[in-house]
Amino acid sequence: MRWIWIGGVGLALAVVIGWLFVPRPTPVDLAVVASGPIAESVADQGSARIREAYVVAAPVGGRLHRIDLDVGDRVTAGRTAIARIDPAAADLLDARSRTQAEAGVAAAAATVRASAAEQDRAAAEAQRSEANLTRVRSLAERGVMARQALEDAEAAARTGRAAVRAAAAGLAASRADLVRARAALSNPEANGGRPVLVTAPVTGYVTRVFQESARTVMVGAPLVEVGDSHGLEAAIEFLSQDAVRIREGMTAEVYDWGGPGVLAARVRRVEPQGFTKISALGVEEQRVLVFLQFTDPPADRATLGPGYRVWGRVFLRRAAAVKKAPLGALVRAAGGWAAFKVVGGKARLTLIKVGALTDQEAEVTAGLSAGDQVIVFPSDSVRDGVRVRARRRQD
């Protein structure tokens, strides 16, 4: 009896030890391969900017009045006054300069009279040449005058007409010189003191003010910059390896811009030249500017202005129904992608082919079927053939 009791205890102890050494299933997180839509995209940050900005310059030189506009003020094309400029007055003449100017006026007036007399003389010569041509032509038709005499008379008539035109041009030039000479004697206040009003060229808002205080400006001096409110777009700085996959006309969106929802857009242009930018971690990155043109109504982004920080996403490819698995289920194996598929309670390393990748999902083109269970974020204890069980919440 004693040996029976000792044998039973030993058997029980062996069973307990065997049970302790039997491998237990590894708790894992499971997900199901589903079928549904997927969109492959690239995203990065940038800023909003004005596509077309107009620099309003001074049309005349003179005294600029203080500009009352501030950055962000709305302006209307042809109605909003940008600036007022008093044209520069003529310099006051001293006694010597006035005497010289008066002499110039007298000389110009004499030249006008001389030119007028020259025009009269040329007209008289032309009239005589025309009369002579009439007589010679009549005699030549009757055979009394030689052909050579007729040609000489015609040449003299043409010369006379040309001399009249030259005299008329000389008289016009002389009169212009007289006007210029008289302008030198004009009153400095001859313009009446009327300021020149400069209005907005387009409807939009002021983005920069170059000249704010009253001062003297030259012709062409920049005054303000006006941005066209309908030309707002997003300039996104994509990594060069992402930018090479982007094409003009692709669908895009702008998000995290500070307002509600996302803003629909499309790719207007991909800059052909990249640039180097230092990241926050001190790493040199090659970036490319991609311009996204908004396609939704301007009222949806009324509070968005140039220079505001935004995020942009460009959709490279969209599919309505594909097999997709969580991105966390993908592992590297044999130089490609693989996933641990659960078959009969065991993890089976399965090589797969991946298509589009998003920040949460991956398109599976081969290796898995819809409804298969895969392990998400497998730990180091998960290997091919290991028994697994679904993790409970308390695990």
Q: What is the DSSP letter of 58?
A: -
User: Which backbone phi and psi does 15 adopt, to 5 degrees?
Assistant: -65, -40
The model scores a pTM over 0.75:
no
pLDDT(193) > 70: no
d(CA 215, CA 234): 36
Domain boundaries, the chain: 24-37+322-390, 41-50+229-319, 63-88+193-227, 95-183
Residue 44's pLDDT is 94
Residue 253's pLDDT is 94
What topology is assigned to 24-37+322-390 in CATH? 2.40.420
Tens-digit pLDDT profile for residues 308-348: 999 999 999 888 888 999 988 899 988 899 999 999 888 89
More confident residue, 144 or 120: 120
Rounded mean pLDDT, 355-362: 84
Tens-digit pLDDT profile for residues 23-46: 678 888 899 999 888 888 899 999
Q: What is the DSSP letter of 378?
A: -
CA geometry: angle at 263 spanning 302 and 358, to 5°? Answer: 155
d(CA 268, CA 276): 22
Decide if 41-50+229-319 and 63-88+193-227 have a common fold.
Answer: no
What topology is assigned to 63-88+193-227 in CATH? OB fold (Dihydrolipoamide Acetyltransferase, E2P) (2.40.50)
Q: How confident is the model at residue 21 (pLDDT cuts 50, 70, 90)?
A: low
Give me 378's structure tokens.
């497998």
More confident residue, 351 or 143: 351
More confident residue, 202 or 288: 288
pLDDT(278) > 80: yes
Rounded mean pLDDT, 240-267: 93
Residue 276's pLDDT is 93
CATH number of 41-50+229-319: 2.40.30.170
